[in-house]
Amino acid sequence: MARKLRVLFVASEAVPFAKTGGLADIVGTLPYALKEVGAEVKVLLPYYGVIKQGKAPMTTVAENLEGRLGATGLTFDVLTPASGDAPFYFVERDEFFERSQLYGTPKGDYFDNLERFSFFCSTVLPVCQNLGFQPDVIHCHDWQASLVPVYLRHRWQGAEILNRAKTVLTIHNLAYQGLFPKGKFPLLGLDWSLFSIDGLEYYDQINLLKGGIVCSDAITTVSVGYSKEIQTPEYGYGMEGVLQSRAADLHGILNGVDYQDWSPENDTLIPATFSKSKLAGKAKNKAALMEAYNLDPKLAKAPILAMISRLADQKGFDLLAAVLPELLTQDLMVVILGTGEEKYHRWLAQEAPKYPGKLGVKIAFDNALAHLIEAGADMFLMPSRYEPCGLNQMYSLKYGTIPVVRATGGLADTVEQADPATGTGTGFLFSDYTPEAFAKALQAALKAFKNQKQWRGLIENAMSQDFSWERSASAYLNLYKLLVEGER
């Protein structure tokens, strides 16, 4: 195709505007990387209260367009950032989006999330018509955008502006599917025949993600490993059958890392920069990290094992709890940075005083400290139960902080088992989700740490890895082209 491929992203969050998780990083970054490889991308997002209150001035590009909720027409405006050439467009309807949070409060999800996001999905057609934007591909993210492929197939067949659009659905975390009671089905504006086993029905509930999986031309997830795992009962959250039926159209494309933010050579948030060939700065960062966590200076030569994480069951804190007492009898230090579930806050607050100078805990979301940890620690632990992609292990590799990870999803795809005999590998992996398997991997890592030459080799291997966005963007572009050229 001689002209640029036109892609519309539909998503519920994007940095720097609104973020609850890794989805926002991808939606906020990938469009720029796609532009670099030659696509024209626009991104459609809800205009949340947090964006409205933010500093970015906006320009209204369309007023009084009409979206739908069931059979009812509801008006909305479209805004775009006033400065620069940002590809973001926001759907403004305060009734749905002018709230303090994106999806709900700590007390629970907003009661009308089905209404909010079915309305949001319905705006794709009027927005494209108004902007005169005829997408070749509509790339939808997670359950919040999953109705778009359904509407394209079942409601918008006659719409000329969308008549060449192929659809891609990216699943960032299968645990979130957009489940709603059957009684709300009429609000989707779809025929009841679609409330069926090969439609949006799931154990007598509405499952929006399932609708997206069934109706999209292609489905992607954020690593090859996770794309295989989600087709099994262990990781499929009940969706394994549907995903198996779409196996031929299901692809794994690893997320990229924003190396402008995460490179030890030019990180402005750490006391000393360093590189593969000039590692001296890493020791300075280690000293600063020990100070930040009040660790025992006598242990300066011992390794620091680190975790930065949402404190959630997914991340394997039960395994950490099981190995921690034995681990801390050895000459080493452990630092943890995280926020999340209350039970983990309590547990960590209880443990820290038992190991003064050896176990450092900070319950916070602190980006600068996260950078210092990546730069100053020796090992990074991710014993995740499942991990669609994972970013921290990729940051760790770049900072020469050797990952000790469970061989699941994106972790298995990005960390290569160290082999002392050949000097190959970048980290330490274990398979079984058991304390014994985790402890064994930790012991292998601690043994390797004692051999300076071997450890140095590992650091070099790790720091040589490249998970930049260009690779991911090219993979997405190839997939778009396959779809558009009708080969899939």
Give the footprint of ligand ADP on this chain (CB under 6 A).
Answer: 21-22, 308-310, 337-339, 364-367, 370, 389-392
Closer to ligand ADP at the Cβ: 405 or 477?
A: 405
Q: Which residue is nearest to ligand ADP (CB)?
A: 22
Cβ 15 to ligand ADP, closest distance in Å? 11
Q: Which two tokens stand for residue 315?
A: 């991340």
Closer to ligand ADP at the Cβ: 99 or 310?
A: 310
Cβ 454 to ligand ADP, closest distance in Å? 27
Cβ 180 to ligand ADP, closest distance in Å? 24
Asked whether the beta carbons of 200 and 211 are under 8 A apart, the reply is: yes
Q: How far, in Å, are 167, 259, 304, 327, 459 from residue 367 at the CA level? A: 35, 15, 19, 27, 23
Cβ 369 to ligand ADP, closest distance in Å? 7
Cβ 370 to ligand ADP, closest distance in Å? 4
Cβ 71 to ligand ADP, closest distance in Å? 38
Q: Find all residues with CB under 8 Å of 238, minimum gap 6, and list them.
A: 202, 203
Q: How far, in Å, are 247, 326, 381, 409 from residue 232 at the CA level? A: 12, 34, 25, 12
For tokens 């050797």, what's the residue?
402
Cβ 311 to ligand ADP, closest distance in Å? 8
Cβ 410 to ligand ADP, closest distance in Å? 8
Cβ 456 to ligand ADP, closest distance in Å? 25
The number of residues in the chain equals 488
Asked whether the beta carbons of 427 and 413 are under 8 A apart, the reply is: no
DSSP output for 41-61: EEEEEE--HHHHHSS--EEEE
Closer to ligand ADP at the Cβ: 278 or 471?
A: 471
Dihedral sign computed on CA atoms, order 337, 237, 200, 106: negative
Asked whether the beta carbons of 240 and 230 are under 8 A apart, the reply is: yes
Closer to ligand ADP at the Cβ: 149 or 410?
A: 410
Beta strand 88-92 with 72-81 is antiparallel
Cβ 413 to ligand ADP, closest distance in Å? 13
Closer to ligand ADP at the Cβ: 206 or 305?
A: 305
Closer to ligand ADP at the Cβ: 189 or 390?
A: 390
Q: How far, in Å, are 15, 43, 143, 146, 180 from residue 176 at the CA level? A: 20, 21, 7, 12, 12
Asked whether the beta carbons of 17 and 88 are under 8 A apart, the reply is: yes
Closer to ligand ADP at the Cβ: 52 or 310?
A: 310
How many other CB atoms are there within 10 angstroms of residue 296's CB atom?
Answer: 13
Q: How far apart are CA 98 and CA 76, in angstroms?
A: 13
b (16+ CB within 10 A) / e for 95-117: ebbbbeebbeeeeeeeeebbbbb
Closer to ligand ADP at the Cβ: 365 or 432?
A: 365
Q: How far apart are CA 404 and CA 392, in angstroms?
A: 11
Amino acid making up residue 402: I
Closer to ligand ADP at the Cβ: 382 or 477?
A: 382
Closer to ligand ADP at the Cβ: 180 or 386?
A: 386
For tokens 């070749």, what's the residue?
136
Closer to ligand ADP at the Cβ: 163 or 367?
A: 367
Cβ 389 to ligand ADP, closest distance in Å? 6
